[in-house]
Amino acid sequence: MNGGPSGFNNAPVAKAIVISSALFTIFFGFQGRSKKLGLSYQDIFEKPKIWKIIVSMFAFMSTPELMFGLFLLYYFRVFERQIGSNKYSVFILFSFAVSVLGESVILAFLKDPSYAITSGPYSLIFSSFVPFFFDIPVSTRFRVFGLSFSDKSFIYLAGLQLLLSSWKRSMLPGICGLTAGFLYRMNVFYIRRAKLPDFLASLFSRVSWPSMGSSSAAAGIPGTRNTLETGSAPPYAGRQVERTYPSPLAGSVEPSEDSITTLVSMGFDRDNARQALVQARNDVNVATNILLEAHSH
């Protein structure tokens, strides 16, 4: 399944989260302390450990969890490209806050000193499954041994593996993350209107490691024309724009009617949807990103 352009182009916040999770997991793993990162009743109520609460949002407790978790975090970077780094940062903070609050309430109710919640960015990962379910369309379907699957099935299976990785210890933060995702989608407290100031969101692009992708001129976007053709600068002139989407192939096949209908059903203009699909080589997910970014400009 295609999560959009490769690399972390236009997704500096997601890149910072992935790097932080990997570094925290490796650091505490080398020290042999990863199994002690899970939050318990004592860590929150009896002997509060702020550092442990913060670290538990990033560091995974095992290598399998790290692999599945980083894969999902990397895929879900598509949402930062759709809503922008400013709003995506608020989405992350909201997911963390709601999950920590929910986990604290449940731990207070259980009061079981032997029960500890597994650590890792479960809140962000599982809150991202909500927009993934509602906003990312299915582009292909297939059958295996008589069972029907789609290109989204692999993401769901990775999430299920992560949710059940530590059984009860991992199910609680997963459920809290899903709750945070639904609350964000319901626009509780008008949270979807909130966004961080530009200078705070852009901080991630300065502190994150450089992207492996190369940059060049902006790709053609539906509704705009190339500067060389018009002789005038586009509305985003004056800042470097990375080419993140594939160029349409010469003699490319006309997009399928089903793909065009899928994009039109999401509220996009039919002509723009067709142009985006041509540029995306008939990949509905990439075309959706192109249309959303064109609208944001």
Which of the pair, 264 or 170, is modelled with greater confidence?
170
- The pair phi, psi for residue 141, each rounded to 5°, is -130, 150
pLDDT of residue 198: 77
CB atoms within 10 A of CB 263: 22
SS3 assignment, position 32: coil
Structure tokens belonging to residue 295: 């609208």
Average pLDDT over residues 96-105: 95
pLDDT of residue 117: 93
For 151-157, the CB contacts below 8 A with 24+ separation are 151/1, 151/2, 152/1, 154/1, 155/1, 155/72, 155/75, 156/129
What is the Cα–Cα distance from 164 to 170, expressed in whole angstroms? 6
Chain centroid to Cα 132, Å, comes to: 9
Query: Can you list the domains of the chain with their CATH numbers?
Result: 12-207 (1.20.1540.10), 227-296 (1.10.8.10)
pLDDT by residue (tens digit) across 38-97? 899 999 998 888 989 999 999 999 999 999 999 999 999 989 988 888 999 999 999 999
Give the residue among 200, 206, 222, 16 at the shortest CA–CA distance from 121: 16
Kindly indicate the confidence band of residue 180, based on its pLDDT and cuts at 50, 70 and 90: very high
Average pLDDT, the chain: 81
- Is the pLDDT confidence value at 113 over 80? yes
Query: Whole-model pTM?
Result: 0.74
Give the residue among 124, 103, 99, 121 at the shortest CA–CA distance from 39: 103
DSSP code of 225? -
pLDDT of residue 226: 34
CB-CB contact of 134 with 185 (8 Å): yes
Buried b (16+ CB within 10 A) or exposed e, 73-97: bbbbbbbbbbbbbbbbbbbbebbbe
Average pLDDT over residues 104-118: 91
- Is the pLDDT confidence value at 249 over 70? no
Structure tokens belonging to residue 291: 């249309």
